[in-house]
Amino acid sequence: MTQLERARADEVTEAMERVAEREKEDTEFVRAQVADGQAVIPANDHHDALDPMIIGREFSTKVNANIGNSDETSDLEGELRKLHTAVHYGADTVMDLSTGEGLDPIREANVEHSPVPVGTVPIYEAVKRAGSPEEITHELLLDVIEKQAEQGVDYMTIHAGVLMEHLPLTDGRKTGIVSRGGSLLAKWMEENGMENPLYTKFEEICEIFREHDVTFSLGDGLRPGCLADASDEAQFAELETLGELTRTAWDHGVQVMVEGPGHVPMDQVADNVERQQDVCDGAPFYVLGPLVTDVAPGYDHITSAIGATEAGRAGAAMLCYVTPKEHLGLPEEEDVREGLAAYRIAAHAADVANGREGARDWDDALSEARYAFDWNEQFDLALDPERARSYHDQTLPGDNYREARFCSMCGVEFCSMRIDQDAREAGEMSDIADETDLAGSVAAEVNRPPTGTHDGGRAIREAIDDQWEPPEQSVDD
Ligand code: SF4
């Protein structure tokens, strides 16, 4: 039975208990959210290394990091380093989007080593095995999906919502179909003159997912690739189909989340989230960005984190990170770090804005350390402690500066916080507020860095840091 079926049967599973512990929520609340399809616990029965987590709008906002190779670059060791970097910097899930060589060993190694859920897009492997998109058969698709389910993949992007009748709606677009899965399936439908095989075989896919408790991530193959195409007829026609498929998956006892755009102007982001929640009966929304402007290649972790913050504020449950390499090249380790920092900021900002219990305690604790000139505490509390420490030490590296009442930004004479404190000590201003009890707050477990949204994450990441060694195996083996 899947987590959804067990929840419906009033069973509180070990995964639900673990999730409740992490989120500081009542187990019955977790169970009810899963039973109603309002949250998912992606947890394939075969993923032994998994520490379960939950995705839903009533829980802390999650962040996904995409990793994976391409024909041009990366190998097994490089992919595991990316996984390690993603987990270290706070990814709540990872998606292996490999399209190059060694798909099976890379996927198996990712599942074996990953404490967070692993997602895939099986149409990529189907294309590699068929040789070209139009050569994919229904049998091959189901075979690939079943194999990946047996390998322990926790959730899969299935672009079943792109239908033949939707394709003419993209004709007037500025950037056509930009989703890889969407474009592959559109080509398949045009060449074969048949309906999307992921749609026609959807109930069979449901049965595979049910057997292994794989969660659907219903792909938005017609997502807009630029601001001009946002919120158009094609995007919303596909969304209606995704709503229908959500209910079909639920009928089969399978967990579902729904993917969303893409490129969306800031003023349309909240409407997009609210529309998905309405059409898909509250199934968790998993958004890629969205990018709120098209003009900044090289900085799209920023353009998209702005949209992601707004999406999280409006009710999106998980944010798929975008790295500075978006539109330009395959991300490397440092790009993964930059993308995750941007998205953890977005997720946390959304949690603070939504009044998530304990979320702002982290901000308050860091601000108090900052005002107290407790530099080491400020570094430890920082979202990226290594970055904060390194930037500070570029100009003031000595231990004697660890308690200095200034930094090099304003200098000793113009440090406004020192001037303010001196004035208060002289009795010219009222006392500052009491200290935040971070240790007693939810933030200590839920948000305090470097744990991301996982109270177990810190231990896991430290264990990985201590024990992880690059495998000797390569994709050529
Ligand atoms: S010098 Fe300026 S930036 Fe540095 S601690 Fe003082 S007020 Fe803050």
Is 259 one of the annotated binding-site residues?
A: yes
Compute, in angstroms, the gap from residue 414 CA to the centroid of ligand 1. 8
Compute, in angstroms, the gap from residue 427 CA to the centroid of ligand 1. 22
In a domain, 457, yes or no: no
Note whether 370 and 409 are same-domain residues.
Answer: yes
Q: What is the mean pLDDT of residues 219-244?
A: 97
The rounded radius of gyration (Å) of the Cα atoms in the chain is 23
Residue among 410, 412, 413, 419 to mutate when testing ligand 1 (max atoms within 8 A of CB): 410
Q: What is the mean pLDDT of residues 46-61?
A: 96
pLDDT the model gives residue 477: 39
Is 46 one of the annotated binding-site residues?
A: no
For 124, counting Cβ atoms within 10 Å of its Cβ (0-12 exposed, 13-18 middle, 19+ buried), the class is: buried
> Omega into 290 within 30° of 0, i.e. cis?
yes
In a domain, 477, yes or no: no
Compute, in angstroms, the gap from residue 442 CA to the centroid of ligand 1. 29
Q: Of 354, 377, 408, at which residue does a domain stop? A: 354
Residue among 414, 416, 420 to mutate when testing ligand 1 (max atoms within 8 A of CB): 416
Angstrom CA distances, 4 to 16, 133, 215, 252, 315, stand at 11, 33, 10, 10, 21
Question: What is the share, in percent, of the chain residues with pLDDT greater than 90?
Answer: 76
432 lines ligand 1 (CB under 6 A): no
Compute, in angstroms, the gap from residue 367 CA to the centroid of ligand 1. 12
Note whether 237 and 307 are same-domain residues.
Answer: yes
Q: What is the pTM of this model?
A: 0.90
In a domain, 282, yes or no: yes
Note whether 209 and 285 are same-domain residues.
Answer: yes
pLDDT confidence bin for 284, thresholds 50/70/90: very high
Residue among 406, 418, 421 to mutate when testing ligand 1 (max atoms within 8 A of CB): 406
Q: Of 293, 321, 354, at which residue does a domain stop? A: 354
What is the spatial distance between Cα 426 and Cα 312, in angstroms, rounded to a whole number? 44
Atom 5 in ligand 1: which residue has the minimum CA distance? 406
Q: Of 319, 354, 389, at which residue does a domain stop? A: 354
In a domain, 184, yes or no: yes
Compute, in angstroms, the gap from residue 39 CA to the centroid of ligand 1. 43
pLDDT digits (tens, 9 = 90+) for 382-430: 999 999 999 999 988 888 888 889 998 998 889 999 999 998 888 766 5
Note whether 417 and 339 are same-domain residues.
Answer: no
What is the spatial distance between Cα 247 and Cα 349, in angstroms, rounded to a whole number? 32
408 lines ligand 1 (CB under 6 A): no
9 lines ligand 1 (CB under 6 A): no
Note whether 270 and 350 are same-domain residues.
Answer: yes
pLDDT digits (tens, 9 = 90+) for 165-213: 999 999 999 999 999 999 999 999 999 999 999 999 999 999 999 999 9
Q: Which atom of ligand 1 is nearest to the CA of 417?
A: 7
User: What sign results for the dihedral spanned by CA atoms 392, 397, 403, 409?
Assistant: negative
Please report, for the domain that includes residue 349, its CATH number. 3.20.20.540
Note whether 229 and 287 are same-domain residues.
Answer: yes
Note whether 157 and 220 are same-domain residues.
Answer: yes
What is the spatial distance between Cα 180 and Cα 184, in angstroms, rounded to a whole number? 6
DSSP state of 155: E
Note whether 378 and 267 are same-domain residues.
Answer: no
Note whether 223 and 322 are same-domain residues.
Answer: yes
In a domain, 466, yes or no: no
Note whether 301 and 398 are same-domain residues.
Answer: no
Compute, in angstroms, the gap from residue 444 CA to the centroid of ligand 1. 26
Angstrom CA distances, 207 to 17, 250, 283, 434, stand at 26, 11, 19, 56
In a domain, 204, yes or no: yes
pLDDT the model gives residue 330: 83
Structural domain count, the chain: 2
Note whether 394 and 291 are same-domain residues.
Answer: no
Note whether 340 and 390 are same-domain residues.
Answer: no
- Which stretches within 252-332 are classed as H helix? 266-279, 300-314
407 lines ligand 1 (CB under 6 A): yes
In a domain, 476, yes or no: no
> What's the token pair of residue 295?
């003009």
In a domain, 449, yes or no: no
Atom 3 in ligand 1: which residue has the minimum CA distance? 409
Domain span holding position 271: 3-354
Is 1 one of the annotated binding-site residues?
A: no
pLDDT the model gives residue 350: 97
